[in-house]
Amino acid sequence: MIFRQLFENDSSTYTYLLACEQTGECVLLDPVIDTAERDLQVIQDLGLQLTYTLETHIHADHLTGARKLRALSGSRIAVPKMDEIACADIGVQEGEAFRVGNIELRPLFTPGHTDTHHAYLLDNGMQQVLFSGDALLIEACGRTDFQSGDAHTLYYTINNKFFSLPDETLVYPAHDYEGRQITTIGQEKNRNPRLGQQTTEDEFVAIMDNLNLPYPRKIDFAVPGNRDCGRCPNNVPSEYLGPCDIAEVMPEQKTRVGDQG
């Protein structure tokens, strides 16, 4: 297997590249529209073919690169089936392995940050590897105060779906804002200030209710755009138009930019 942990600066998103060395197929987990070309360059440099993009959830902090990557490379768009996203090519769900060449990802239904969030579990032969999306972050977790978030549900997800995994399980989150790259289930049980084994559900909900986080600056266009596989919607502010630079991704904006020019 070939593995790369790629980073998108503006939203501090980790995009994961998983490739099957035998077939040359690969998947990008949670690609960002801003770094679509960078991701394809990495894939090309490795002599691989992008087979799929795969989402953990409908992101509010960035536009997915799924549609742009499909336009540029012919990749197929995979999303959680329960999202019912019409533009996607394939739906994934818990209980059905998602295969890319000889790589097998096990989708885990892990709601709480959003109500259709999925994480993905892989066995690398040495330990389990969890791509935890926004559900579990390093010494943190995804916020639960917008979209379909619910702190009670996230508490259940982390304690039952994640903390039942072996302590040695590697955890690769979808974001980190302090340059950290990895954690383990054991480390989060020990150190996560919101979710250590001593935190009750009520305490967790109180913590999440009092985070006082700012309104997500991209949410108003990111959520509808991501429901359309990363099409830049009409209400995208001009400073975010840069990544929307191909017609297939943003036909409306191409027209609008033309009108402005």
- By CB under 8 A, name the binding residues for a copy of itself: 1, 3-5, 122, 124-127, 129, 167-168, 170, 178-184, 186-187, 190-191
Q: How far is the CB of 175 from a copy of itself (least distance, A)?
A: 14
Q: How far is the CB of 123 from a copy of itself (least distance, A)?
A: 10
Q: How far is the CB of 126 from a copy of itself (least distance, A)?
A: 4
The nearer residue to a copy of itself, 182 or 205, going by C-beta atoms, is 182
Give, in order, the Cα–Cα distances in Å from 11 to each of 15, 60, 147.
11, 10, 17
**How far apart, in whole angstroms, are the C-alpha atoms of residue 42 and residue 64?**
17
The nearer residue to a copy of itself, 28 or 85, going by C-beta atoms, is 28
Q: How far is the CB of 162 from a copy of itself (least distance, A)?
A: 15
Q: How far is the CB of 95 from a copy of itself (least distance, A)?
A: 24
The nearer residue to a copy of itself, 103 or 244, going by C-beta atoms, is 103
Q: How far is the CB of 14 from a copy of itself (least distance, A)?
A: 11
The nearer residue to a copy of itself, 124 or 234, going by C-beta atoms, is 124
The nearer residue to a copy of itself, 84 or 191, going by C-beta atoms, is 191
The nearer residue to a copy of itself, 34 or 188, going by C-beta atoms, is 188
